[in-house]
């Protein structure tokens, strides 16, 4: 068995050698049965380069993403472990990261996390001991063989760290300095919030290029006009353009229309990014269709 510090991220190798990559989000179960999660993830082998495992997303309790991420590793699927600052203080974050390294997880997406008030435990204490920038600094410290108070570690991690970005959020010149901090703190890739306006992605990529960070553009599968409206109303920072809502409304088969929109957006985004990140919202079986022909490997 290889030791954790010799494991390396294939995602990193691909992005650093300028391969166009595809990642996809698969939500871990609310419960301890990972059967469906694994089935969905396995069905994506060949279509995606890595699977993002979300962390109590929307502040709703689910299994810790570490367990399903480790199951993916065991199955030969590369996970991107999402880690939020909402539920863990700096001790818990570091020990979780060390556990992830021991289990062969190599990619971490550092996130602040949705606020507790959105979820199913609204009366819980929001932690936010660190923020996403400080979590990236923490990952860099562990990668250098030390914890964040400077104590040496037995075994060094070699995480490939990424962060989130919201290319369409305004004002852009407020979000940009934080992206620069994330890059300076060790983020090597950005996985973006769902994009709907490729011209804003172009602006974003141009602005972050000098930071030396790879851009993986978020593409969401809109399953219906109702879902599109729900997202616009309830998901902070996401606004589905009215013409897309109309497209979903004026059809007998909204899911097919949604897949077509996602495919179109992914193709439009391709010139402005290093990969796409598909959020299929439970309909992961459509991912191969959305990303067909996009990856370097497909050419």
Partner 1 sequence: MIVSKQKPFTEILAALGPVSRVFLIGCAKCATVCKSGGEEQLWQMQEDLTAAGKEVTGSLVIDEACHMLRVQRDLRAKGEMVKSAEALLVLACGAGVQSVSAGSDRLTVAGLDTLFLGNIRRFGQFEQRCSLCGHCLLNETAGICPVTICPKGLLNGPCGGMDEGRCEVNADAECAWYQIYLRLRDRGEQAPLATTNPPRDFARNIRPGSLKLDK
Which residues of the shown chain bind partner 1 in the complex (CB under 8 A)? Answer: 86, 90, 111-115, 117, 126, 128-134, 137, 148, 164-166, 169-171, 173-175, 177-178, 180-181, 184-185, 193, 236-237, 239
User: Residues with Cβ < 8 Å from 172, sequence gap 6 or more?
Assistant: 203, 204, 207
| Residue 221: CB minimum distance to partner 1, A | 19
Tokens 């979300």, residue located: 54
Query: In the complex with partner 1, which residue's Cβ is closer, 115 or 283?
Result: 115
Query: In the complex with partner 1, which residue's Cβ is closer, 155 or 236?
Result: 236
Query: In the complex with partner 1, which residue's Cβ is closer, 178 or 283?
Result: 178
- Per the CB < 8 A criterion, the answer to whether 61 and 48 are in contact is no
Terminal-residue alpha carbon distance, the chain:
34
The number of beta carbons lying within 10 Å of the beta carbon of residue 280 is 23
- Per the CB < 8 A criterion, the answer to whether 294 and 265 are in contact is no
User: Residues with Cβ < 8 Å from 245, sequence gap 6 or more?
Assistant: 225, 228, 229, 232
| Residue 110: CB minimum distance to partner 1, A | 12
| Residue 8: CB minimum distance to partner 1, A | 27
| Residue 239: CB minimum distance to partner 1, A | 8
How many residues would you count in the chain?
Answer: 299
| Residue 117: CB minimum distance to partner 1, A | 6
Query: In the complex with partner 1, which residue's Cβ is closer, 112 or 156?
Result: 112
- Per the CB < 8 A criterion, the answer to whether 151 and 144 are in contact is no
Query: In the complex with partner 1, which residue's Cβ is closer, 50 or 130?
Result: 130
């Amino acid at each position: 068995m290889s030791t954790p510090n010799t494991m390396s991220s294939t995602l990193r190798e691909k992005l650093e050698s300028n391969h166009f990559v595809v990642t996809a989000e698969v939500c871990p179960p609310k419960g301890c049965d990972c059967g469906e999660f694994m089935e969905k993830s396995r069905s994506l082998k060949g279509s995606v380069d890595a699977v993002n495992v979300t962390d109590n997303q929307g502040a709703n309790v689910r299994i810790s993403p570490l367990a399903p991420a480790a199951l993916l590793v065991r199955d030969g699927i590369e996970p991107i472990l999402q880690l939020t600052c909402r539920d863990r203080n700096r001790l818990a974050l570091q020990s979780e990261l060390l556990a992830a390294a021991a289990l062969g997880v190599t990619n971490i997406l550092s996130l602040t996390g949705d606020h507790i008030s959105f979820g199913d435990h609204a009366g819980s204490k929001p932690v936010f001991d660190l923020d996403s920038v400080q979590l990236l600094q923490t990952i860099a410290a562990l990668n250098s063989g030390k914890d964040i108070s400077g104590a040496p570690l037995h075994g060094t991690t070699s995480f490939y760290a990424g962060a989130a970005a919201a290319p369409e959020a305004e004002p852009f010149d407020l979000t940009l300095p934080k992206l620069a901090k994330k890059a300076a703190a060790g983020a090597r890739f950005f996985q973006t919030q769902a994009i709907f306006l490729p011209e804003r992605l172009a602006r974003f990529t141009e602005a972050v290029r000098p930071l030396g960070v790879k851009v993986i553009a978020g593409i969401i599968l809109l399953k219906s006009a109702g879902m599109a409206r729900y997202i616009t109303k309830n998901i902070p920072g996401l606004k589905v353009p009215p013409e897309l809502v109309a497209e979903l409304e004026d059809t007998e088969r909204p899911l097919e229309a949604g897949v077509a929109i996602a495919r179109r957006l992914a193709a439009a985004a391709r010139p402005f990014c290093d990969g796409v990140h598909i959020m299929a919202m439970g309909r992961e079986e459509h991912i191969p269709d959305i990303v067909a022909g996009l990856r370097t490997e497909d050419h």
